[in-house]
Amino acid sequence: MNQLNIIIPDRLIGQRIDSAIAQMLPDYSRSKITNWVRSGGALVNGNTFKPKEKVLGGEIVALRIEVEKTNQWKAEDIPLDVVYEDDDIIVINKPVGLVTHPGAGNWTGTLANALLYYDPSLARLDRAGIVHRLDKNTSGLMVVARSELAQKNLVEQLQTHVVSREYSAIVYGHMISGGTVDEPIGRDPKDRIRQAVVEEGKDAVTHYRVIDRFGHHTHVKCILETGRTHQIRVHMAHIEHPLIADPMYGGKIRFPKKADEQLKTTLKGFNRQALHAKKLTLTHPITGETMSWKAPLPQDLQDLLQTLQEFDPV
C-alpha cells in the first residue's frame, strides 16, 4: 500500500471533493477513488469526509493507494495470438474455446490466466487489464489495457461508443437487406442463464449489413453500438435470423429442403456459434491516435462459407 499526498488547488473550489481528487489523479477511475474515500482510505486535513462535501481550496488530501492482486488469478502458460502491443495496450485475436476470465466452473485456462503469464505486471490491474469480453465460442479481436490510465480511458471509450467493433456472423435465413435492431436486452425472465429482448432491459443497438447471400443462409456484418451480453446472438434471433450453431439462441439445426448430404454433414459438425470479432477500431488511450486492426476469419468459418457457396446456392 502506498500513500499519496496532494493539495487541492483553488481552481476546484465548489466542486465535490471526490470529483476534485479524480481530476488531480487521472490515472485512477472515479469509482475506485470513491471506494477508497468511503472505506476511509482518504483523509482531508487529517479527517475523514464524505465524497459529496465541497472543496474550500487548499485542502491537503492523504490518500492510501491500494495495489490489488486480480482476485488471486493464476498465471498460466497458454499461447496467445498477439496482433499488436505497446507500453499501454495489447490487442489479442482470441481463439474459439477460450473463456475471457475466471468464473464459476472456469477458474483456470482463461484468457486472463494467459495474460498474467504473458505480462505479470497486469496483476495490479482490475481483471488483468481486460475491458470487454467475448463469449467462449466467439473468436476475434479484444483490447487489453496495461495501465490504470489506459484502462480507465478504454472503459470510457466503450461506454461512449468511441470503440468500433465489427463482427462477421453467419445466420439462418435469406436476408434481403441490412438493417438495425434497436431493442433492449436483459435477463430472460424464464431462464436466468439466457439474455432476451425485454422491455425493462438495457438499451442495445446492433447494425447489420449483408456480405453474401446463399439459398437459405446469409453472411452478415454486425456493428455494435452498445455492448450487452450476447447482444448479436440475441438480436439476430429476435429478428428470426439466429446464428448457425448457436446452442443457446439458435434452436435445432435447420436443414433446407432437398439439402445435399455435404451441407447436412457440415451443419451437424459445426459446433460453435458462427460469430467472429473481425475488426476493432479505437483511439489510443495515451497518444490519441486512431488505430484499427482486422483479424481474418478462422478456418472453420471459411470452410462453412465455402460449403454454403457450393451446396446452398442462391
The candidate with the shortest Cα–Cα distance to 31, out of 156, 139, 146, is: 156
Is the CB of residue 166 less than 8 Å from the CB of residue 303?
no
Question: Grid coordinates in use for 38?
Answer: 468511503
Catalytic-residue membership of 135 = yes
Query: Distance between CA atoms of 116 and 109, rounded to whole angstroms?
Result: 11
The candidate with the shortest Cα–Cα distance to 103, out of 112, 95, 94, is: 112
The candidate with the shortest Cα–Cα distance to 170, out of 302, 38, 269, is: 302
Which one of the listed residues 135, 182, 188, 191 is annotated catalytic?
135
Q: How many residues does the chain have?
A: 314
What are the catalytic residues? 135
